[in-house]
Amino acid sequence: MTVISLMQLLPGAGKLRWLDDVIAVDSLTFMGSALLSYASIRTPRATERLERIADVLFLLGLVAMVGVSFVLAFDLFEH
């Protein structure tokens, strides 16, 4: 949420509105990872499969967060 607040302070932030959507999807990705991780603890039968899916979602969330951070950092240095 701090990233969204910082983006509102940037001059010409209108061209980066799509980053808001990426950050929102990214937060949902982390939430899905946390829920699947919890489910893997509570469900003895599908533990490995749920853990694997949770790990993949978590790594996708990290990659998206790093990507958004790079785009935002380069835009900050550009202005």
Tens-binned pLDDT, residue by residue, of the chain (79 aa)? 555 556 566 666 566 778 888 888 999 999 999 999 999 999 888 899 999 999 999 999 999 999 988 988 887 777 6
pLDDT at 30 (0 to 100): 96
Burial call 35-50: b when 16+ CB within 10 Å, e when fewer: ebbeebeeeeeeeeeb
pLDDT at 69 (0 to 100): 87
Alpha-carbon radius of gyration of the chain: 16
pLDDT at 33 (0 to 100): 97
pLDDT at 5 (0 to 100): 58
pLDDT at 31 (0 to 100): 97
pLDDT at 79 (0 to 100): 63
